[in-house]
């Protein structure tokens, strides 16, 4: 969040009552099913609140695919220790279903831990199925790989070297590579239109 929205400070945490964390849109995600929430009176979702200014909001809209129609924004009420707070969130405009990648699930778990989510909620996230599934010791493959790499690095100073390139390249690179997929979508859509035009409409 800091890399994508550097002007959006965290304002606290809370619970989104009456909603359930789930995944969907596996056909449009490049890394498995995408995160979303659906209404469910018996469930709730742990959330982190940010104060997002307009310029960061536009950047986040572009990153999460709102401009492409993948997500839509909804206003909801979040229960916090200081009372209810009005907030907006992204909801996936696709069918529910599919498995998230182990990497994607690891990112969610790591974010929840850093935000101070309850232990039982963390355990619930860890127990969710992913692709590939957790290892025999219950660890997600992405987490195990990270720990293995940390062990291999040891005291090697090469891992402490500063990143290559200008400082502005760090936040820009993920956005650039994420938008590369739009050229694939655009090309696929044009091919489908040509097939329909020739085979069905006879143009």
pLDDT tens, position by position, 107-127? 899 999 999 999 999 999 999
What number of CA atoms fall less than 13 Å from residue 126's CA on the CB side? Answer: 18
Query: Percent of the chain scored above 70 by pLDDT?
Result: 64
Tens digits of residue pLDDT in 156-190: 554 455 566 666 566 556 655 665 555 555 555 55
* pLDDT: which is higher, 67 or 143: 67
Q: What's the confidence (pLDDT) of residue 25? A: 84
| Gap between the terminal Cα atoms of the chain | 48
Is the model's pTM score more than 0.85? no
């Amino acid at each position: 969040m800091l890399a994508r929205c550097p002007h959006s400070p965290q304002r606290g945490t809370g619970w989104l009552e009456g909603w359930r964390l789930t995944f969907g849109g596996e056909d449009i995600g490049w890394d498995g099913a995408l995160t979303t929430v659906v209404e469910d009176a018996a469930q709730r979702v742990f959330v982190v609140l940010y104060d997002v200014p307009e310029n960061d909001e536009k950047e986040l809209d572009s990153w999460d695919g709102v401009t492409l129609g993948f997500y839509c924004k909804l206003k909801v009420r979040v229960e916090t220790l200081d009372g209810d707070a009005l907030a907006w969130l992204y909801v996936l405009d696709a069918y529910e279903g599919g498995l998230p990648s182990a990497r994607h699930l690891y990112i969610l778990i790591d974010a929840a831990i850093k935000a101070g989510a309850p232990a039982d909620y963390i355990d619930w996230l860890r127990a969710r199925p992913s692709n590939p599934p957790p290892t025999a010791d219950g660890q997600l493959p992405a987490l195990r790989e990270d720990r293995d790499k940390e062990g291999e690095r040891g005291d090697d100073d090469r891992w402490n070297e500063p990143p290559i390139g200008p400082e502005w390249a760090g936040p820009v690179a993920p956005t650039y590579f994420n938008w590369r997929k739009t050229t694939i979508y655009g090309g696929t859509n044009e091919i489908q239109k040509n097939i329909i035009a020739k085979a069905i409409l006879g143009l």
